[in-house]
Structure 1
Amino acid sequence: MPLTDDIRDLIEHETSQAQALLRDLATALPKSVEAHMLLAQSHLRRLEFSQAIIHYRETLAIEPKNDEALRSVGFCLLAMGDYEGSLAAFQQAFSVSSGAGALRFIALLFHRLGRVEEAIQTYERLLANAQPTSAEISPSLQGLAAALRDAGRPIDADHHIRHLIERFRREPMSLASGLVNRNNSDDFHEWSPLADKSRLAEMLTARKAVDPAGRFPESFVLPADRAALEAFAKGPDAPALYIVKPIRGSGGQGISVTADVAAALDQSDVVVQRYIDRPYLIEGRKGHCRIYCLIASADPLRAYVYSEGIVRIAPEPYDPSPDSGGGAAMHVTNTALHLGHPGLSISQDPQQDDVGAIRSLSALLRRMTADGLDGGAAFGEIKALVEWHVRMLAAHGLFARQAASSPPRGFAPKLFGLDVLIDAEGHPWLIEMQRTPAARGAPLVEKINGEMYLTCFRMGHFPLIDDATPPDLLAALRSDDGARRRRAAELEYAARGKFVLLDL
Structure 2
Amino acid sequence: MPLTDDINELIEHETTQAQLMLRRLTEEMPKSVDAHYLLGISHLRRLEFGPARAAFLDVLKLDPKHNDALRNAAFCLLASGDYEGALEGFQHALKMTANAGSMRHVALLLHRLSRTQEAVKTYERLLSVCQPTSPEIPIALQGLAFALRDAGRPIAADQVMLQLIERFRREPVAISSGLIARNNSDDFHEWSPYADKAQLAAVLTARAAKDPGGRFPETFVLPKDRAALEAFAKRKDAPALYIVKPIRGSGGQGIRVTADIKGELDAEDVVVQRYIDRPFLIEGHKGHCRIYCLVTSASPLRAYVYSEGIVRIAPEPYDSDPAKAAGPSMHVTNTALHLGHPGLNVSTDASQDDVGSIRSLSALLRRMTAEGIDGERVFAEIKALVEWHVRMLAAEGLFVRQAAGRPARAFPPKLFGLDVLVDAEGHPWLIEMQRTPAAKGAALVEKINLEMYRTVFHMAHAPLIDDATPADRVQALRSDDAARREREAEIEMANRGKFVPLDL
Fold in common (TM above 0.5): yes
Paired position in structure 2 for 1:224: 224
Alignment of 1:475-494 (within 5 A): 475-494=475-494
Paired position in structure 2 for 1:234: 234
Alignment of 1:275-286 (within 5 A): 275-286=275-286
* Per-residue deviation, 1:405: 4.8
Task: Measure, in 1, the Cα distance between the counterparts of 2:54 and 2:388.
Answer: 38
More displaced, 480-489 or 325-334? Answer: 325-334
Paired position in structure 2 for 1:400: 400
Letter in 1 for 2:268: S
* Per-residue deviation, 1:322: 2.4
Paired position in structure 2 for 1:73: 73
Paired position in structure 1 for 2:377: 377
Q: Deviations over 1:282-338 (max 9, x none)?
A: 010000000000001000000000000000000000001123365110110001000
Letter in 2 for 1:289: C
Asked if the contact 1:298–1:399 (Cα under 8 Å) also holds between the matched residues in 2, the reply is yes
More displaced, 400-409 or 177-186? Answer: 400-409
Alignment of 1:348-387 (within 5 A): 348-387=348-387
Task: Measure, in 1, the Cα distance between the counterparts of 2:205 and 2:290.
Answer: 21
Task: Measure, in 1, the Cα distance between the counterparts of 2:338 and 2:37.
Answer: 30
Task: Measure, in 2, the Cα distance between the counterparts of 1:238 and 1:405.
Answer: 47
Q: Deviations over 1:326-360 (max 9, x none)?
A: 51101100010000001101000000000000000
Paired position in structure 2 for 1:211: 211
Query: Does the alignment pair 1:149 with 2:153?
Result: no
* Per-residue deviation, 1:237: 2.5
Task: Measure, in 2, the Cα distance between the counterparts of 1:18 and 1:261.
Answer: 27
Query: Does the alignment pair 1:436 with 2:433?
Result: no
Task: Measure, in 1, the Cα distance between the counterparts of 2:456 and 2:264.
Answer: 41
Asked if the contact 1:147–1:409 (Cα under 8 Å) also holds between the matched residues in 2, the reply is yes
Task: Measure, in 2, the Cα distance between the counterparts of 1:408 and 1:324.
Answer: 52
| Count of residues paired in the alignment | 504
Paired position in structure 1 for 2:412: 412
Task: Measure, in 2, the Cα distance between the counterparts of 1:451 and 1:389.
Answer: 24
Task: Measure, in 2, the Cα distance between the counterparts of 1:402 and 1:168.
Answer: 28
Alignment of 1:254-269 (within 5 A): 254-269=254-269
Alignment of 1:20-35 (within 5 A): 20-35=20-35
More displaced, 308-317 or 219-228? Answer: 219-228
Paired position in structure 1 for 2:459: 459
Task: Measure, in 1, the Cα distance between the counterparts of 2:33 and 2:431.
Answer: 40
Paired position in structure 1 for 2:335: 335
Asked if the contact 1:319–1:326 (Cα under 8 Å) also holds between the matched residues in 2, the reply is no
Alignment of 1:40-439 (within 5 A): 40-324=40-324, 326-439=326-439
Letter in 2 for 1:260: D
Q: Deviations over 1:130-182 (max 9, x none)?
A: 10011110011100111111111100100100000000000001000000000
Asked if the contact 1:420–1:432 (Cα under 8 Å) also holds between the matched residues in 2, the reply is yes
Asked if the contact 1:246–1:271 (Cα under 8 Å) also holds between the matched residues in 2, the reply is yes
Task: Measure, in 2, the Cα distance between the counterparts of 1:223 and 1:29.
Answer: 33
* Per-residue deviation, 1:236: 2.9
* Per-residue deviation, 1:257: 0.9
* Per-residue deviation, 1:80: 0.3
Task: Measure, in 2, the Cα distance between the counterparts of 1:39 and 1:103.
Answer: 26
Asked if the contact 1:152–1:481 (Cα under 8 Å) also holds between the matched residues in 2, the reply is yes
Letter in 2 for 1:481: D
Q: Deviations over 1:411-449 (max 9, x none)?
A: 000000000000000110000100000110000000000
* Per-residue deviation, 1:2: 1.1
Task: Measure, in 2, the Cα distance between the counterparts of 1:419 and 1:322.
Answer: 24
Task: Measure, in 2, the Cα distance between the counterparts of 1:398 and 1:144.
Answer: 25
Query: Secondary structure, in 3 states, of the residue corresponding to 1:409?
Result: helix
Asked if the contact 1:320–1:326 (Cα under 8 Å) also holds between the matched residues in 2, the reply is no
Paired position in structure 2 for 1:497: 497
**What is the TM-score normalised by the length of structure 2?**
0.99
Runs of at least 5 residues in structure 2 that lack an aligned partner in the other structure: none
Task: Measure, in 2, the Cα distance between the counterparts of 1:300 and 1:323.
Answer: 51
User: After TM superposition, where is structure 1 displaced by more than 2 Å over at least 4 residues in a row?
Assistant: 322-326
Task: Measure, in 2, the Cα distance between the counterparts of 1:341 and 1:64.
Answer: 46
Task: Measure, in 1, the Cα distance between the counterparts of 2:407 and 2:83.
Answer: 14
Task: Measure, in 2, the Cα distance between the counterparts of 1:408 and 1:425.
Answer: 42
With over 3 angstroms needed to count, the CA separation of the structure-2 counterparts of 1:325 and 1:127, relative to structure 1, is closer
Task: Measure, in 2, the Cα distance between the counterparts of 1:242 and 1:498.
Answer: 35
Task: Measure, in 2, the Cα distance between the counterparts of 1:100 and 1:289.
Answer: 38
* Per-residue deviation, 1:270: 1.0
Letter in 1 for 2:190: E
**What is the TM-score normalised by the length of structure 1?**
0.99
Query: Secondary structure, in 3 states, of the residue corresponding to 2:244?
Result: strand
Paired position in structure 1 for 2:39: 39
Task: Measure, in 2, the Cα distance between the counterparts of 1:475 and 1:324.
Answer: 69
Task: Measure, in 2, the Cα distance between the counterparts of 1:135 and 1:423.
Answer: 43
Task: Measure, in 1, the Cα distance between the counterparts of 2:66 and 2:317.
Answer: 51
Letter in 2 for 1:322: P
Letter in 2 for 1:486: E
Task: Measure, in 2, the Cα distance between the counterparts of 1:322 and 1:67.
Answer: 52
